[in-house]
A and B are shown apart, each in its own frame.
Chain A
Amino acid sequence: MSPAGLRGSVAIVGVGQAGLGEAHGRTEMEILAEAAHAAVADAGLRMRDIDGLATASVGATMWALPVSEYLGLQPKFVDSTMLGGSSFVSHMMPAALALDAGLCDAVLVCYGSTQRTSTFGRKEIAKVRPMLDPQPYEYPYQPAMPVSAYALAAARHMHQYGTTREQLAEVAVAARQWARLNPEAFMRDPLAIADVLAARMVADPLSVRDCCLVTDGAGAYVMVRADRARNLKRKPVYLLGNATATWHRQISAMPDLTVTAAKESGERAYAMAGMTAADIDVVALYDAFTINTILFLEDLGFCKKGEGGAFVSDGAIAPGGRLAVNTNGGGLSCIHPGMYGIFITIEAVRQLRGECGARQVAGASTALVHGNGGTLSSQATSILGTDAAL
């Protein structure tokens, strides 16, 4: 048995977004429903065609139930596995298995958050989390989670490999340059390396410009089997490889802060796809913090361990650089509503369909989507491709 048998068996056939940036006066369920409706319509389907659901919430523990109820679904397949921001990349594999097994015919994967404008938001959730998700060996030290964890990883990477704050800043500047080409991006003002270095320090060595945005936003995508995908209205984006790896929850339990479980999820996803990093045209990495991009480029084989800082230097991942990374502007400059994994998926699909306008990567036929969750805790890699990549 090998997951390679699933390669190309399912495709993403619709994507939708709603409430990007600030969704004043609307609830997270409302914008989730708008995004879900948009994704289903994009696929050329009706909501009644959806018989599978995958979703997760930062706050609600039984989230698939109110989502099903609200959307009027009675799904035959439900997945509400919550691994943090990587969830919506991770959801692709159980959805593919369910579709392949004939448990259902169309899976809707969706997420929404109004953490920026909601009256009950991230501050309140941060307050109750120590009770709902106890970490008695970390919380008493009052780390500012998650940023303290990523700062510890960045500090260790700098110590071990000589990575510099300027190289971290290159990641933020590249993301901003892509965002400037994306009308949907939340932050589009010019940003220079000096601006990142001079910004308010949040958790040494990370300044506020090394950190992702806090926005609202909802996203959704629809998956069906490949045979059906070919008869729908959009160009199918096939799932070629997918794998999830988890090595820890708490940052103090991470074996080596310079090596993430993306190494394992990447190796398994590449093996399923029969590809390597050299075969990838577009990269969408979960850049919650600037160090993420460097760690994931290394762990996913785009450069050697320790060389990520040099790899991103001199605008190498900015528009016109050697590798197109986070072309929507990323969590750093485009959008980051608590969990971002669905948005990297949507951007990769749009790139593979050739819909990205000024930021389009010409002729892109393969994309790597990499989701991260918790404190570098869960890693999910997906390799997507057009029919040219099958």
Chain B
Amino acid sequence: MDDTIPACPDAGPEKVFFDTLESGAFRIQRCQDCGRHVFYPRALCNHCGSRALDWVDASGRGTVYSTTVVRRKAEAGGDLNIALIDLEEGVRLMSRVEGIAPDAVRIGMRVQAGIAAENGRPLLVFTQSGAAT
């Protein structure tokens, strides 16, 4: 059972996640024992404690659970959206919604994941795919 993680013997779940993101794919974990998805990536299932976690492609489809704007001066980078996104798989993550004004993001808005690059690192971000429901 324990050999399902790590998929690569030289990398723990955190490195696997970011390396995968770097390669252009968004994958999350799913527990073989309880069937639930796990995010952020862990060495054991936070729902049932199992070590039997598989990597699966994430749908990238999500809904904005909550949203705020970090109000910053222009010289500090300007206003920045911070959103909590609920993925279809039932996990929540922090990200931001791009392509619209930071304060135009609405709770309930349908969003789709994409991979951006920031500070030389891959960064999971979202764009609007549908109106708030």
Contacts and interface: CB of A to CB of B under 8 A. Distances in A.
Given A142-B70, A143-B70, A252-B84, A156 B94 contact: no
A203 B70 contact: yes
A137 B70 CA distance: 17
Given A201-B71, A202-B71, A143 B94 contact: yes
B71 A138 contact: no
B66 A155 contact: yes
A141 interface: yes
Contacts of A144: 70
Nearest to A142: B80
B66 A140 contact: no
A159 interface: yes
B7 to A, nearest CB: 19
Nearest to B108: A159
Interface string B115-132: 000110101000000000
A352 B67 CA distance: 41
| A141, A200, A202, most chain B CB atoms within 10 A | A141
B106 to A, nearest CB: 9
Contacts of A136: 14, 18, 40
| B14, B69, B77, B92, most chain A CB atoms within 10 A | B69
B95 interface: yes
A141 B82 contact: yes
B68 interface: yes
A346 interface: no
Q: Across the A-B interface, give the 3 residue pairs with the lowest CB-CB distance, nearest first.
A: A151-B68, A252-B94, A156-B66
Interface of B: 14, 18, 39-40, 65-71, 77, 80, 82, 84, 92-96, 103, 107-108, 118-119, 121, 123
Given A140-B121, A141-B94, A203-B70, 4 more contacts: A136-B14, A141-B82, A152-B84, A159-B66
